[in-house]
A and B are shown apart, each in its own frame.
Chain A
C-alpha cells in the first residue's frame, strides 16, 4: 500500500514542482509585493506599506475608467462573438457544398497573433493611406479618424476583437453542433416541430456546454485585452480605451512600480474570478454530476 502511494507521489512530483514554480510561487510573490513599495530600480530594500497600494489603485480615476472599459468591452465582445459565432456555425452546419473551404477561411483571423492583427488594422484604418477610408470615400464619406476619435476608438477596437475571435467561437460551437444526435432532429420533424422550436429545444440544449465553454474562455481572454489597445490607441483618447491589463503594464512593467502594479494585478485577478466563478462552478458541478451518473 505504502509503495503504491509512494509511486503515486513520484509520478505527481514533476507536475507539482512545475505548478509550484510557475503558478503558486508567482501568485504568492505578487501578493507579497502588492503590500510593498517595490520599485525595481530602487537601491533601498522594499518597505511594507500595508493596504496603501490597494487604496491608491481603487481611488485612481484611470484605474476606475480601465475597469469600466474592460467590463464593457468584455460584455459586448463575449456577447457578439458568441452570437455571431453561433449564427455562422448553424449556417455552415446547414450547408451542403463548400463547407471545407469556408471552415478554413473563416478560421484565418484567429490564427494570427494579436500584435499582427493590431498592426494590420492600424494600416487599414489609417486616415490617408488606409483601405477602409479609401472605400468609404467611394461612397462620398469623409475620412473617419477611427483611432483618435473618442466616439469611435472603443468600438473600432471592439470590432477588431470580434473580427479576430468570432472564428474561435464558431469552431467550438460548430464542433458541438456536429455531435448533436441526428435522431433527435428526425424525431422532432416527425412530431411536426418547426425550425425555431428545433433550434430552441434540441440544438441549444445540446450545445449548451460548448456555449458556456466559449463564454468562459472569451470572458477570461477579453479581460486580458492588451496588445490591440497598446498598439492602436495607447489607451486614449482620454482613457476611453484603457484596459486593466494596459494599466498594469504601464505601472508595473514600463514604470517598474512592481508593488503598485502587483496590487492592480491582484484586483484584476479578483474581478476575473467574480465574472468567471459562475461558469467555473457550473462546469465543475456538471462534471461531478456526470461522474455520479
Chain B
C-alpha cells in the first residue's frame, strides 16, 4: 500500500513539474544592468512598456566587474540568458568585436541627431564611424568638484589650469585643510583620476599607430603634478572623497556627477575639469566621458522586442521621466528642456562637459592596458618607483599588451 502511494506521489510530482515547465507565461525580457541608480530609474518607467507589449521586463543589477564577467561568459551560449545588456563605454570595442552585441541597424534601431555626439560615438564600432551596436543610456562625464566656501575663504576662483589647482591646494594645506583628494586605488580608479590631468598637459596613452606614449614629457609633468597634489592632499576612496569635499575638510577633487549630485541638490560645487596644465598652455579636452551603454545581445531570445525596449528606454520622453529617479540623460533635448534645466542646475555644466569630453582609447585591450597603467601609477604615488621608472615600465607593459 505504502509502495503504491509512493509511486503515485512520484507520478503526481513529475506531472506537476512537467506542466510547470511547459506552461507558457507572458513574454519576458531580461536585462543585465549595472546595479544602483540605473536599475532604480528603469524600474520606475518600465511599466508603460510592459503594458503596451504585454511583456515582463526583468532587470538584474550587478556590480561592474561581475556584469562584465557574466555578460562575456554568456556570449558563447547559443541562446543567451540576457536580451539586453549594459556596458561601460571602454568595454565597447571588446564587446562589439567579440560578437556580444547585435548590430542595431539590422534590428531597425538608428542613431538620431538628438543624442549627444560624443555619447553616440561610443556605441559605434569602429569608434564614431562604424556600425551601431549600442545606444548611450547614462551620460556620465567627470567633473571638477570643489568646496566653494573653502576656496572663497582664501579668495580663489575656480582654477582653470592644474598649475592653479596645485597653488590653491598648497595654500589651503598650509592652513590645515586637505588641498586636493586623489582617488588612488590601484586599477580603474587611479587611471580614471589621472587621465584628465595627462590630457590637460597634452599627453596621450597612445599615438596614432597604437604605440604607448605614457613615458612622454607631458606624462611626466602630469604625474609629478599628481604626486605633488597628493603631498598636499589625501588619497581616498569614493565615499571619503565625497564626504571630505562636501564637508569642507578637503578642497578639490575629480568625480562623477552621481557621487555629489542627488536629484536637485549638489553637496559640492562643480565645474568642467581644468583644461590645461599651465596657465599659458593651450587648452585640451579633459572631461573623461564614462557613459553606460545599452545594446541587444547577439544571442537574445527575443531581439526584435529587445530592440523596441532599447528605443523606448533611450527615448527623450523616457529619459525625462528617468531623471526624476536618478537617471542621467544622453539626449540634448533633455538637457535643454527648460523645466528640467531650471530644476536640475547641473544640466548646463554637464552638457558642456559632455560636448568637450574625451573617450578613453578605443581598443579591445583597454581593460589590460588600464590594469598595467594603474599598477605603475600606484607604484609611483606609493613611492616604490620614481616617476620616470614607473612611466617607462608602464610604456613597456602597454606595448607588450598591444603586440
List the interface of chain A (C-beta within 8 A of B).
Answer: 40-43, 62, 122, 126-129, 145, 147-148, 150, 233-240, 250, 253-257
Contact = CB atoms under 8 A, between A and B. Distances in A.
B57 to A, nearest CB: 27
Contact of A240 (B94, B98, B247, B382): B382
A27 B384 CA distance: 38
Given A150-B383, A254-B68, 12 more contacts: A41-B72, A122-B237, A129-B239, A147-B237, A148-B235, A234-B187, A235-B186, A236-B374, A237-B378, A238-B375, A238-B379, A255-B371
By secondary structure, the A interface counts as: loop
A145 B186 contact: no
Contacts of B247: 128
A41 to B, nearest CB: 3
A127 B234 contact: yes
Given A40-B72, A254-B367, A150 B186 contact: no
Interface in B151-185: 184-185
A233 B240 contact: no
B90 to A, nearest CB: 13
Interface in B351-391: 367-368, 371, 374-375, 378-379, 381-385
11 contacts: A40-B72, A41-B94, A128-B239, A128-B240, A128-B247, A129-B243, A234-B185, A236-B382, A238-B378, A238-B385, A256-B72
Contact of A148 (B65, B100, B236, B249): B236
Contacts of B249: 128
Contacts of B72: 40-41, 256
A236 B384 contact: no
A236 B374 CA distance: 9
Contact of B69 (A126, A145, A148, A254): A254
Nearest to B186: A236
B99 A43 contact: yes
Please provide the 7 A-B residue pairs with the shortest distance between their CB atoms, ordered closest to farther.
A236-B186, A41-B98, A238-B379, A238-B382, A150-B382, A237-B382, A234-B187
A120 to B, nearest CB: 14
Nearest to B185: A234
A255 B375 CA distance: 15
B244 interface: yes
B253 interface: no
Interface string B171-213: 0000000000000111101100000000000000000000000
A234 B192 CA distance: 15
Given A148-B184, A148-B185, A256-B72, A126 B368 contact: no
Most buried by A among B68, B99, B237, B384: B237
Contacts of B100: 41
B367 A255 contact: yes
A250 B244 CA distance: 31
Contacts of A129: 239-240, 243
A43 B298 CA distance: 14
B394 to A, nearest CB: 12
Nearest to B73: A40
B67 to A, nearest CB: 11
A129 B68 CA distance: 30
Given A239-B378, A255-B368, A233 B186 contact: yes
A121 to B, nearest CB: 13
B132 interface: no
A122 B237 CA distance: 10
Contacts of B384: 150, 238
B98 A128 contact: no
B170 to A, nearest CB: 19
A147 B378 CA distance: 13
- Which one of B187, B236, B378 has the greatest number of beta carbons of chain A within 10 Å? B378
A233 B99 contact: no
Contacts of A236: 184-187, 190, 374-375, 378, 382
A43 B75 CA distance: 12
A272 B375 CA distance: 26
B54 interface: no
B186 A237 contact: yes
Contacts of B367: 254-255
Given A62-B375, A254-B68, A237 B189 contact: no
B332 interface: no
A239 B244 contact: no
B76 interface: yes
Given A128-B249, A255-B371, A235 B382 contact: no
Nearest to A42: B98
Interface in B218-255: 234-237, 239-240, 243-244, 247, 249
A233 B185 contact: yes
A42 B364 CA distance: 11
**Best-surrounded residue of A43, A122, A234 (most CB of chain B within 10 A):** A234
B237 A235 contact: no
Nearest to B190: A236
A40 B186 contact: no
Contacts of B237: 122, 126, 147-148
